[in-house]
Amino acid sequence: MTLQELAKSLHNCQQCKLAKLGRTQVVFGVGNPHASVMFVGEAPGFNEDQKGEPFVGAAGKLLNDLLASAHLSRDQIYIANVIKCRPPNNRDPESDEVETCKPFLMQQIQMIRPKLVCTLGNWATQTLLERKVGITKVKAQAFYMKDFVIFPLLHPAAALHQGNLLDTLKEDFKKLKEFLDRHSQPPAAAEPSAPSESTLNIEPPNPAQMDLFG
């Protein structure tokens, strides 16, 4: 199955109760289907539900600025959410909704094959790390999974609600840029015709460093 076919198959998804709780549409995800960097948020909000695209409201505007600060553009990356339908009144996702929708996120990741997955906020981080760990403890660090690296970040909406987190978020995007720079091949070493996304090369550190939750 291709990413497009998966999106089509979920167009009128009825697999969880959110289908009947006032969503306008399923918000599958947008961006470069061959991205080496993917961002994963929590769930669509009002604007995303209206437009059918993740991160198009206030948090999305802030995310665009933060991406630019890390020299990333939205056409280069892919953005999706853990939950593809807006929960009523933007309430937190419920565990049955996460369980139902997570396999679709995992299929997206398998199809896009990003090298780096930046999780935005607690929901995405805990869902992909499969651990109930607070975002402030794990943010801006690389977690080497079998097929990709997870780089958790604060959710931009948290910085909009709590202004004091904005500087931290900006600092963390600087760390993301440093990580990307450290793992990007210099342009001369890349194939002249290769798209920029293929120049990211992340090798796991030595095994001792991999015990990240120890």
Would you tell me which residues interact with ligand URA (CB under 6 A)?
Answer: 41-45, 48, 54-55, 59, 81, 157
Give Cβ neighbours of residue 159 (< 8 Å, ≥ 6 apart): 62, 165, 166, 168, 169
Return the residue nearest ligand URA (CB atom): 41
The nearer residue to ligand URA, 43 or 150, going by C-beta atoms, is 43
CB of 59 to ligand URA, least distance (A): 4
CB of 81 to ligand URA, least distance (A): 5
Q: Which two tokens stand for residue 202?
A: 């992340």
Widest distance between CA atoms in the chain: 53
Give Cβ neighbours of residue 15 (< 8 Å, ≥ 6 apart): 100, 101
The nearer residue to ligand URA, 57 or 114, going by C-beta atoms, is 57
CB of 172 to ligand URA, least distance (A): 16
| Beta bridge mates, 117 | 38, 150
CB of 80 to ligand URA, least distance (A): 8
Give Cβ neighbours of residue 153 (< 8 Å, ≥ 6 apart): 118, 119, 120, 121, 139, 140, 169, 172, 173, 176
Angle subtended at Cα 13 by Cα 94 and Cα 127, rounded to the nearest 5 degrees: 35
The nearer residue to ligand URA, 48 or 97, going by C-beta atoms, is 48
The nearer residue to ligand URA, 61 or 113, going by C-beta atoms, is 61
Give Cβ neighbours of residue 21 (< 8 Å, ≥ 6 apart): 85, 87, 88
CB of 195 to ligand URA, least distance (A): 25
Helix (H) or strand (E) holding 1, with range, is: none
The nearer residue to ligand URA, 71 or 161, going by C-beta atoms, is 161
